[in-house]
Amino acid sequence: MEAIVYLLRFVFDAFLMILIMRVWLQLVRADFYSPFSQFIVKVSNPLVIPLRRVIPGFGGIDLATLLLAYVIATLKFVTIALLGGFDIGLISLYIGLLVLVKQAGFLLFVIMLVMALMSWVVQGYNPTMMIFQQLTEPVLRPIRNIIPNIGGLDLSILVAFLLLNVINIILTGNLPGWAQV
């Protein structure tokens, strides 16, 4: 049973991250023609395009993709809770929202970690690094305004890691013990 739950979490998390990334790429107006952006769009199109015919965007936000991500996050929780034998109700709608927010924070954490590692290794222009910088700049810029570079070191990612962990602890504290997904 643990192997099945592990595989289900992986599938739900992978698709959820792709949907979150799609919305995020649109919000920051990232380079659409980058190979990374093209991958995200082509993988998510089969479910997003039919939903867009019914749910239009609003104010530059892709509501169809955002709603699909919320449904996937809720389905993740419901599926794992039912496999664990837990009784769920309307709380699953609330927990689905928390799962979506936690997954977005985890994705931001991973992207910043990869960016930090790439900054040590990659020399020159790299399209993936440019996309990651476009994605994280709205989060890191306010931190950089408060904490400037110290001795040539950018500590904004470290501060963002700390803030993301604090937010994760707060969100996890709002979940019942059996609902930790």
For the chain, what percent of residues have pLDDT higher than 70?
Answer: 96
Position 93 scores a pLDDT of: 84
H runs (alpha helix) in 147-178: 156-173
Return the residue matching tokens 């990869």.
114
Domain spans of the chain, in order of start: 2-179
Q: And the tokens for 174?
A: 């709002």
Those residues whose C-beta lies under 8 Å from the C-beta of residue 100, and which sit 6 or more positions away, are 16, 20, 69, 70, 73
List the chain residues with pLDDT less than 70. 174-181
Rounded distance between C-alpha atoms, residue 38 and residue 45, angstroms = 10
Look at residue 86 in the predicted model and tell me its pLDDT. 77
**So what's the pLDDT on residue 109?**
93
Given this model, what pLDDT does residue 164 score?
Answer: 92
Residues 6 or more apart from 174 whose CB is under 8 A from it? Answer: 98
* pLDDT for res 166: 92
pLDDT of residue 67: 93
pLDDT at 85: 79
pTM of the model: 0.86
